[in-house]
Structures are given as structure tokens and as C-alpha cells.
Structure 1
Amino acid sequence: MDRTNAIGLDKAKTEELAKGLNDLLANYSVFYQNTRGYHWNVKGEQFFVLHEKFEELYNDQKLKIDEIAERILTLGHTPEHNYTKYVKVSQVKESGKVSDGNACVEGILAAFKIIISMQRALLDLSGEIGDEGTNSLMSDYITEQEKLVWMYAAHQSK
């Protein structure tokens, strides 16, 4: 019996990684929908800037959601796709209707804190099992998002 998947990684070890990626997928999906809501509902003097920034962010999240799901498939597992499951497992919680730009940015920063922490854990796990594909994906996401956190936090600074 072959203990490796189609890309040569240990099947048992990739099962834990795929579970973590599915949890990340759930968090991204809730974060994505929250960001769409921020985009739709933001009001006030910062509207034009934040409306555009939130659109950039949710477009990027949409791409990452697809990449994460495809990575789960590449590892030989099935990505979750039900929002009922996402809401149950996601550490990023659904936001209510938020129209204040600063509150929207606070929600984004809180979600990034969770997402980046999850990605760091997946980076460690993928490194331990020799999964360079997942490792590279997580590393790229972290690098990009740490800069976004700095920028959104700068927006909040007085």
C-alpha cells in the first residue's frame, strides 16, 4: 500500500495539513464576506478611499480562497464549501452591518491577526512534512498581509 499521495507527500501527514487549510478556507470565506459588506456599507468622509481599498481586498481574498481550495485538492483532499460549516469553525466572526470606516478597518485588522496566525501555523506544519507548495503559498500570503496590516493600522493612527 502506497503511503504517499500523487505529489509524493505522506498521506497521513497531509491529512492534518488539509484540515488546517480547510479551517483557513472557512476563515477566509467569512473574512471575504465581511469585507464585501464593508465595501457596500461604508459611509462618511473616507468613503471613496475605503470603498476602493475594500474592493481591492475582497478581490484578493477571492483569489486566495480559490488557491487554498485548489491546494487542498492537490494534497488529495476535499475542500469544504458550505457556509454553515464555515461559520461554525471560523475564528473570524461574521460582522453586522458596519458603515463607520474606522470600525470596518478594525474588523479587517482583527481578521488579519487571526488569518496570519493560522498561516504561520500552516507554514510550520508544511515545512515539517516537506510540502514546499503549501509552504510557499503561506509564506507569500504572510509577507503580503503583514504589509497590509501595517498600512491599515497606519490609517487608524492619529
Structure 2
Amino acid sequence: MTKLTNIGLHKEDSKQIADKLNELLANYHLYYQNLRGFHWNIKGANFFQLHAKFEELYNSALARIDAIAERILTIGQPPLHTFSHYLKVSTIKEASNLSSDNETVTTTHHNLTVILQLEREIMSLATETGDEGTVSLLSEDINEIEKTLWMLNAFLS
């Protein structure tokens, strides 16, 4: 039996990367759902600005969710696809009943920090194993998250 996937990566390495990508997928789903709640429930003087920003962020997160799941499939593994699995695997927790600008932006900042740290960990593993496709996927997202964190920091200061 071959030890390579259909795209030429080592199966053991791909399984390890897919497990971490599934963790990322779970975290992205909780991040996404939190953003939806913030978008719907934001109140206060910054309503218009944050209502639009949260929509922009959750649309971006939805695209990332799809890209991550497709990468997991590409490297030969099944993506998690139930909320019960996401809740078990995710470091990010559900945020409920948040409606102020400071608490929603602070929570968004925290959630993105969790995702960024996980992506850096996966990128290091993918680099070590020669998985350029995963490196490319994460590199693009890391740049966007860093920029968003800078903006959220500016808002909070």
C-alpha cells in the first residue's frame, strides 16, 4: 500500500495536518457564528460602523470555512461538519448576549488571535512536511487577520 496521498503528500503528515485544519475549521465556525450574533445585536453610537464591519468579517469567515474544508478534502481527509464536533474541538467559545461595541470588538479580537496562533502552528507543520498548498492557504489568511487585528486594536485604544 502506498504511503502517499493522491496529491503526493505523505499520508501520515496529511492526517496530522488535516486534524489541525479540522481544529481550525471548528474555531472558524464559532468565530463566524459569534460575528453573526454581534452583527444582529450591536447597539450604541458605533452601531452603523460595527454592523457593517461584522457583516464584512462574517462573509470573509464563511469563505475561509469553505476553503479550509476543501483543503482538508484535497489532502485526503474528511472535514468536520457538525456543530457538536465544532463545540468539542474549538478553543473559541460561543458568545451570547453581547451587544456593546467594546465587548463585541474585544471578543472578536480574542477570537482572531486564537485563529492566528493556530494558523501559524499549522503553517509551521505544513512547511516541515512540504505541504505548499496548505502553506499558501494559510499565508493569505494570516496577512488578513494581522491587518484586522491592527484595526481592532486601533478601535479599542
TM-score range, shorter chain: over 0.9
Aligned residue number for residue 126 of structure 2: 126
Aligned partner of residue 48 in structure 2, secondary structure: helix
Q: Give the Å deviation of 1:2.
A: 1.0
2:23 and 2:109 map into 1 onto residues whose CA distance is 19
1:119 and 1:88 map into 2 onto residues whose CA distance is 19
Q: Is 1:103 the equivalent of 2:81? A: no
Q: Which AA in structure 1 matches 2:133?
A: G
2:131 and 2:16 map into 1 onto residues whose CA distance is 12
Aligned residue number for residue 77 of structure 1: 77
Aligned residue number for residue 89 of structure 2: 89
1:101 and 1:37 map into 2 onto residues whose CA distance is 13
Runs (4+) of structure 1 exceeding 6 A deviation are none
Identity of aligned residues (%): 48
Q: Give the Å deviation of 1:71.
A: 0.1
Cα RMSD after superposing both structures: 0.5
The aligned runs of 1:36-51 (5 Å cut-off) are 36-51=36-51
Aligned residue number for residue 147 of structure 2: 147
Q: Is 1:66 the equivalent of 2:66? A: yes
Aligned residue number for residue 26 of structure 1: 26
Unaligned 5+ residue runs, structure 2?
A: none
Q: Give the Å deviation of 1:154.
A: 0.2
Q: Give the Å deviation of 1:8.
A: 0.3
Aligned residues: 157
Q: Which AA in structure 2 matches 1:51?
A: H
TM-score (norm 1): 0.98
Unaligned 5+ residue runs, structure 1?
A: none
1:18 and 1:97 map into 2 onto residues whose CA distance is 33
1:97 and 1:75 map into 2 onto residues whose CA distance is 38
Q: Give the Å deviation of 1:130.
A: 0.4
Q: Which AA in structure 2 matches 1:3?
A: K
TM-score (norm 2): 0.99
1:62 and 1:97 map into 2 onto residues whose CA distance is 22
Q: Is 1:17 the equivalent of 2:17? A: yes
